[in-house]
Amino acid sequence: MPRRQRDEERDWRATLFVWRGVLGVSETNCLTWDGVWEPTDTDALPDESAYASSENEFNLRTRMMGGDDLEILETCILGPDMERLGDLFWGLEHLGDIKLTGSYQLDQGDGRGHQSYSDDWHDMTVSIRGPYAVVAACGETQFGRFISLGYVDGQDMMLARRYVSDDDVRAAWRTPKDVLNGTDWGILEDGQESFDPEADGVLVAKLPWRVEPSKKR
């Protein structure tokens, strides 16, 4: 994984990698997700300026869809009246586990600049929790296992990726449903009328993103 300053003094898995992009439907009937990712070592998401200047691009796709899956995907395409923007892509909940392929750019700090990398496997699912479409994912790369959590808002999707070591209990989460079951993120508490997923500390302060509380004893 990317070498960061003082890596020998810290676990690089403590860094959260926040992927943010736009969902779309290709001419070949594939769900697409294109955007950029940025790391964060604090309890705050990367700011807009970090994304605007980021060279960490990614381009992910699903397989070509047909049958019932294609009908669901077609409902996600925005109509000319522009009236249902807030519900766009919420129908993805009915697709179950969605397999993503593609590539992302990463600068390892070895003098070669940004290079293209791909996940060995990457599955995601969408779950409607109250007024929010929560997204969970998991997968594996040459750098190790990862789990992700985020949300869909209109055409925008954000996923915060956490890499986990083999001795971390979260390494046993092999499906997106496992990730959803391991966190209450996005579920409104009694008497709570709203939830801001990008409020300071909300995302990274929740399990499954904290490192130490989830370590095996």
Q: For residue 213, what pLDDT is reported?
A: 32
pLDDT interval class at 210 (50, 70, 90): very low
Kindly state whether residue 86 falls inside one of the protein's structural domains: yes
Q: Is residue 110 part of a domain?
A: yes
pLDDT band, very low/low/confident/very high, at 191 (cuts 50, 70, 90)? low
* CA dist., res. 103 & res. 58, Å (int): 6
Mean pLDDT computed over 97-112: 92
Q: How confident is the model at residue 131 (pLDDT cuts 50, 70, 90)?
A: low
Full-model pTM: 0.78
Instruction: Inform me whether the pLDDT recorded for 158 exceeds 80.
Output: yes
For 28-54, what is the mean pLDDT?
A: 87
In a domain, 2, yes or no: no
Average pLDDT of span 187-212: 48
DSSP 8-state class, residue 168:
B
pLDDT of 15 strictly over 80:
yes
65, 84, 87, 121, 157 from 74: Cα distances, Å = 10, 13, 13, 25, 18
Is 51 a domain residue?
A: yes
**CA torsion through residues 68, 91, 139, 187, sign:** negative
| 214 is a domain residue | no
Q: Which domain holds residue 173?
A: 7-207
Using pLDDT thresholds of 50, 70 and 90, give the confidence band for residue 141: very high
Show Cβ contacts of residue 98 under 8 Å, excluding neighbours closer than 6 positions. 31, 62, 92, 123, 124, 125, 126
More confident residue, 48 or 73: 48
> Any residues with CB less than 8 A from the CB of 33 and at least 6 apart, and which?
21, 22, 23, 24, 58, 59, 60, 61, 100, 157
Residue 138 in any domain: the answer is yes
Per the structure, the count of domains in the chain is 1
Q: Is residue 84 part of a domain?
A: yes
Beta strands in the chain (DSSP E): 16-25, 31-40, 57-61, 98-99, 101-107, 114-117, 121-129, 132-141, 144-153, 156-164
Provide the pLDDT confidence category of residue 184 given band limits of 50, 70 and 90: low
What is the rounded distance in angstroms from the CA atom of residue 21 to the CA atom of residue 73?
18
Higher pLDDT, 70 or 194: 70
Q: Which residue has the higher pLDDT, 77 or 7?
A: 77
What distance lies between CA 120 and its chain's CA centroid?
16
